[in-house]
A and B are shown apart, each in its own frame.
Chain A
Amino acid sequence: MSNGAIVGQSLPLVDGVEKVTGRGVYGVDVRAAGMLFARILRSPCAHARILHIDASAAEKIPGVHAVVTCNDLPDRRVGLALKDEYVLARDKVRYIGEAVAAVAAVDLDTADEALKAIRVEYEEITPVFDAREALREDAPRIHEELAHYQQSSYLTRFIRPIPDSNVASHIKLRKGDIAAGFRLADVVLEDTFYCPRIHHCYMEPHAVLAQYTPDKITVWSNGQRPFDIRTYMADLFGLPMSKVRVINTMIGGGFGGKITAKLEPIAVALSRKSQRPVKLVLTRQEEFQGFGGAHSAWVKIKSGATSDGKLTAREMEVTWDAGAYADLGVSVALLAGVVGASGPYRIPNLKLDSYLVYTNKVNPTALRGMGMQQVAWAVESQTDLLAEKLGMDPVEFRMRNALEEGDRSATGEILESVSVRECLKKVADAMQWGKRPKAANQGRAICVWHKFSAAATTSSAAIKINADGSVTLLTGSSEIGQGSKTVLSQIAAEELGVSLEEVSVISGDTDATPFDHGSFSSRVTHHTGNAVRFAALDAKSQLLNLAAEMMQPMEVTAEALELKGHRVFVRALPETGLPLAEVALAAQLRGKPVLGKGSFRGQGSHRLDPETGQSSEPAASEWIYIAQGAEIEVDPETGVIRVLKLVGAYDCGKAINPLAVRGQILGGVMMGVGLSLYEEMTYEDGQIVNPTFMDYLIPTAAEAPPIEVMLVENPHPLGPYGAKGVGEASIVLIPCAIGNAFYNATGVRIRELPLSPDRVLEGLGAKGQASSR
């Protein structure tokens, strides 16, 4: 698709100056006159009944303005999907680090002193930390009342708890005849893979400023879904939505970790009690204790293929560690555990079971990739094993089974804008696959996958044309660093014939901006982009109609007019026209100020048949496809894997800002490198033992390998200019691509991440022993 004057251009971020000068006001920076500082008291027990809480001594400490416990909040469970959690623990605690009470004081030292003065009496209960153990019949029950929990109706989700168990959700898919499929196969492989928890490690911690007055709750938040937070606060504190205002500050990274509003209700409760604004910012250690990163997963996978390399059947059982609360794990279990689990392949017979299992650890949540990297690690590792068993080139094996345009997905959706083969071919060509010799201890691999934005989410946008023709864009989406303000401004500028500098964006303010489901699921460019484009077209139509009126007595209709380069003109007579500013001013003077509105709802739904997982509707708003190549070198002495190069092809439909798209992809790839080689949230008896950047290592500039990004632009019929959401996909294939390249180098298959020097040496040692026998 050809580029416009502004759409398709690599332009710097519209909020870039605020970022590079330090002038931007982030969640940690926002202040209010008279504000207090808050701290949270966290549970030292992994599983215990709360017998008694006594905050009276803490309340008496000079400088302490409020202490809140569960008794300062309604006796109601909350949750983004399954309502299984209290804002502050009531009756029971279910993980070490669970919030039990909170303090607001004149400064943090005083607040810390007050925390020590709160007496909580616990009676410990046997905990369970491993999801596979929690599935056992005799495992302690973490949620005794699971069967009675309500589900949130806010965003359509599909949740299937198993009563009297630790299973928060069990989603199934049955397609074809699985037994017959395996009978047709000449080769059948069974494997189990494990992917650990990794943390988001957004550089800015969660930060909230809350101001409660009898008239209004105002919350400044660095959360990714301000309208969600408003709904939640209005519901919890019993106010109309118009009396709750959630304002996004600048946001120092999210990656899915700033969707769940754990802090906001606590800060509001403290503000209500103290009658002062309250600021609550987490420490890095609390980020690791209070937010559980991504879901670790055990994936059992069995696949069959014929000797000519056709997949006949795949059976998968994915066990996700939900931690203590379901949160967005229900979406991970559905979307990654079933909808996308089997990969971008034609497989006639499928049997998929996805279990979201409670344990006594802090709950993980959405994290870039939304579970796909966990299942891709298993599927794409086994794909290489199958190809080897069949004596077939692994790229050729993938090509033979790749989904094509018009094929059906696992849930029965007819797929469009499919580019599996194109992506594979691009990477194979770039790597000169099969044509280059490789040195000792070096290995290469190519993997392929798909990713999608959640179905049935909504965005809306408004555009005001000011009297000088400049543009004010209102969007409820959140700028979390992905460049949404820039991309949305580019769309508005393109359609309205103005420069990017003339567009100003207000984003993520529930009183000022129209509704948007928010920034998650790689959805903003596709969904909000459409809404902004429609709003711009609406504004443009109003301008053109007025211009036609102004050009009388000349007989010209709005349809015959064009808006470009700050001018409205007759398409057939480009010299005949009016400056945009003249039309915009007239609009105001004639009492017809231009206010354009637009909205977009992503297609489909997540309501699958509970037994078969099939659906008559799409289960995704739009699918994207990626292929990822990796070249690595292993040092057999130290066990260190060095990534020589990562090269990938990513189908974004249309790159509205190629610089920003590349940036999203690079960031995802590097998070994938961390997951592959370094990162794991490590627990001992439910206590995280690496809750600092000293112990939990993420990649630095010193480790960043060369990354080649190739964009594929296979337009989606519903996308703005064909765009599809590409923000998350690039993390997904890094572990399996590196893992397969390691196997290619050494013949050693490691089935648990990360591929740390210990595991590598252990694997190499085991192979050495086996071959010397």
Chain B
Amino acid sequence: MIKKELQLRVNGGLFKLEVFPSTVLLDVLRDELGLTGTKRGCETGYCGCCTVLLGGKAIHSCSILAFRAKDHEILTIEGLEKDGKLHPLQKAFMDRGASQCGYCSPGMILSGKALLDSNPNPSEAEVRRALSGNLCRCTGYLPIIEAVLSVAQEGGRP
């Protein structure tokens, strides 16, 4: 197998890379671009720690080939702060105790953002559904659900 040229648009920047066709997006983000905020928690696409937004949709970056991502805007957790200011979801996660060990937080926050971007006033049930692809073992989920709902109620879209 040989590496092929790939251009990815990540967090507003354009990156030219040489990548094996079999490489998943997660590995490119972490190993090639050094964006280690995107985490690996399993190999089966079930934990959600590797969630990124692809064209605004939350996806598991461990389960998609990097080449499949080439025509879309990719947003990782590193792209969420604006001018050194935390995104309202990041702030709400801190204020509500929605991060403990923090390992699931990047994925959770991005799943929350994907929901609020498409549905600014979700019900609690919709929040729960949107977050159900992201596992957390620390928080019992309730502070995370509270954090996402609080941002929705404050109309806190960037």
Binding site for B on A (CB under 8 A): 10, 12-13, 15-26, 28-29, 200-205, 250-255, 283-285, 480-483, 659-660, 662-664, 666-671, 692-694, 698-702, 704, 706-707
Contacts and interface: CB of A to CB of B under 8 A. Distances in A.
A16 B38 CA distance: 16
Contacts of B134: 700-701
B80 A28 contact: no
Contact of A707 (B39, B105, B140, B144): B140
Nearest to A659: B97
B102 A480 contact: no
Given A203-B103, A660-B97, A21 B141 contact: no
Interface stretch (B2-10, B66-74, B88-96, B150-158): B88-96
Contacts of B37: 21-23
B120 interface: no
Contact of B105 (A19, A663, A666, A701): A19
Nearest to B129: A702
Interface residues of B, number: 52
Contacts of B100: 13, 253, 481-483, 663-664, 667
A203 B41 contact: yes
A19 B135 contact: no
Contacts of B42: 283-284, 692-693
B76 interface: yes
B139 A284 contact: no
A480 B99 CA distance: 12
Nearest to A700: B132
Nearest to A483: B100
B128 interface: yes
B101 A204 contact: yes
Given A19-B102, A694-B46, A13 B94 contact: yes
A283 B44 CA distance: 10
B109 interface: yes
A252 B36 contact: no
Contacts of A663: 97, 100, 138-140, 143
Contact of A252 (B46, B81, B102, B145): B102
Given A10-B97, A201-B135, A667-B138, 13 more contacts: A13-B100, A19-B102, A19-B105, A20-B91, A20-B94, A22-B38, A24-B102, A202-B103, A663-B138, A667-B140, A670-B139, A700-B135, A702-B128
Contacts of B93: 16, 19-20
B104 interface: yes
Given A13-B94, A21-B90, A480 B131 contact: no
B72 to A, nearest CB: 20
A693 B139 contact: no
Interface in B24-75: 35-44, 46-47, 49
B85 to A, nearest CB: 11
A201 B137 CA distance: 7
Contact of B137 (A24, A28, A671, A706): A671
Q: Ordered nearest first, which 10 A-B pairs have the shortest CB separation?
A: A22-B37, A19-B102, A481-B101, A252-B103, A666-B140, A670-B140, A693-B46, A22-B77, A481-B100, A701-B131
A481 B97 contact: no
Given A203-B135, A252-B39, A667-B140, A20 B99 contact: yes
A284 B36 contact: no
Contact of A481 (B129, B138, B140): B138
A203 B86 contact: no
Nearest to A250: B102
A481 B137 CA distance: 10
A481 B95 CA distance: 15
Contacts of B49: 203
B104 A203 contact: yes
Given A482-B100, A700-B135, A12 B94 contact: yes
B90 to A, nearest CB: 4
A250 B78 CA distance: 17
B136 interface: yes
Contacts of B81: 21
B44 A284 contact: yes
Given A22-B36, A252-B39, A662-B97, A669 B140 contact: yes
Contacts of A671: 137
Contacts of A670: 139-141
